[in-house]
Amino acid sequence: MTAIDNFMGAVLGEAAYAALQKAGERSRPLAAVIGPRTVMGWANLAARWDYEGTIPGHEDSLLQFTKSATGLTGSIAMDDTQMDFENAAATNLAAILCVQLGCQPDLSKSEGATQVAIAKLGETIDLMVKARVVSLLKSEPVCKKCHCAMTKGKCPKCMDKAELPGKAAGAIAPKAPVAQQAPVPTAPKRMATRAPSVSMTKSQSTKKCSVCGSAQFTSSGDWKACYCLRELAKSVNCEPTETGYDLTFGDDWSPSHIKLLMDIVGE
């Protein structure tokens, strides 16, 4: 596998990566932009915080940067080469990563792909990357501030000094007696927010995604989600109805994910 293939496999997951490979096989113009657009999607997400770690899919690399009001400042080291950057935007970070991964966009090869198709592909890739990050955060929690692996729910880099082991506890001052007060009536509890849900007809359930070519249900009528949304498939409760299915979405599903699903199956 090439450097960009390893990167895409790491940031997208096996199912989503396979889906984009199939999309590239069906459209050579889109194949030319899938790699760079995946790098851009990951860079946009990573640039929200400081970062210190490896380039995804490449354990022998180092990527570190800090974020400020003027941009990202740091360096990338991979294959005995190092590139420094200062006050860079997420697009600059993506461009540097593309150089290191050998996937610079070739505009001549992308001719023939419509702007609508490229925009749709980009939206799908962004959601794939976010879905993968959500999945990894659930299995291997990391600190949102520095991306360091957390231990027992705490980040060893960011925890306060008061939380460090070995600090003696201060003396506990005696508390003054508290006069009894009349019970205060509590406000009634609010009803829990209802989870978002949609209805899908049987004809919609068999419609194939234009990106990955997969349907949302198996041939026997079981919910699976297409490859683009497979990372989120478990966070859905599916109930059959006379005309199709009712889908209730868990917390992993954002409005953008639901909109993408309905765009895929829309008639």
**What tokens were used for 151?**
């231990």
Does 130 share its domain with 245?
no
Quick one: 130 and 215 in the same domain? no
Block residue for tokens 């770690």: 53
* 75: in domain: yes
Give me the phi and psi of 212, to 5 degrees please.
Answer: -100, -10
**Hey, which residues does 53 pair with through a beta bridge?**
63
Strands (E), 202-243: 236-240
What is the full DSSP assignment across 53-68?
A: EEETTEEEEEEEEEEE
Q: Distance between CA 3 and CA 56 in Å, rounded?
A: 10
Per-10-residue mean pLDDT of the chain, 267 residues long, equals: 89 86 82 89 87 89 91 91 92 91 70 77 85 63 52 57 37 48 49 73 84 81 83 86 90 78 74
Last residue within a domain, chosen from 104, 139, 174: 139
Packing angle, helices 255-265 and 115-139, rounded to 10: 130
Measured distance CA(191)–CA(165) in Å, rounded = 41
Secondary structure element (H or E) that encloses residue 243, with its range: none
Secondary structure of the chain: what % helix, strand, coil (to 5)? 40, 20, 40
Q: Structural domain tally of the chain?
A: 2
Q: Residue 161: inside a domain, yes or no? A: no
**Whole-angstrom distance, CA of residue 79 vs CA of residue 61:** 7
Judgement on whether residues 17 and 126 belong to the same structural domain of the protein? yes
Same structural domain for residues 99 and 13? yes
pLDDT of residue 207: 85
Is 18 contained in some domain?
Answer: yes
In a domain, 183, yes or no: no
Domain span at residue 97 reads 3-139
Residues 261 and 209 sit within 8 Å (Cβ to Cβ): no
Residue 164: the pLDDT is 33
DSSP for 130-181? HHHHHHHHHHS-B-TTT-PBPBTTB-TTTS-GGGSTTPPPPPPPPPPP----
- Does residue 150 sit within a domain? no
> What is the model's pTM?
0.58
Strand order in the sheet with 51-55: 51-55, 58-68, 71-78, 81-88
Query: How much is the pLDDT for 24?
Result: 83
Same-domain status, 29 and 133: yes
Domain boundary among 101, 118, 139: 139
Alpha-carbon distance of 127 to 107, in angstroms, equals: 24
- Could you give the 3-state DSSP secondary structure of residue 94? helix
| 135 and 242 inside one domain | no
Q: Please answer whether residues 33 and 113 qualify as being in contact, where contact means their C-beta atoms are separated by less than 8 angstroms.
A: yes
Phi, psi dihedral angles at 87 (to 5 degrees): 50, 40
Whether residues 121 and 235 share a domain: the answer is: no
Q: Are 93 and 209 part of one and the same domain?
A: no
Dist CA 98 CA 125 (whole Å): 16
User: Distance of CA 205 to CAs 219, 228, 233, 259, Å?
Assistant: 10, 15, 14, 15
- Is residue 28 within 8 A of residue 246, CB to CB? The reply is no
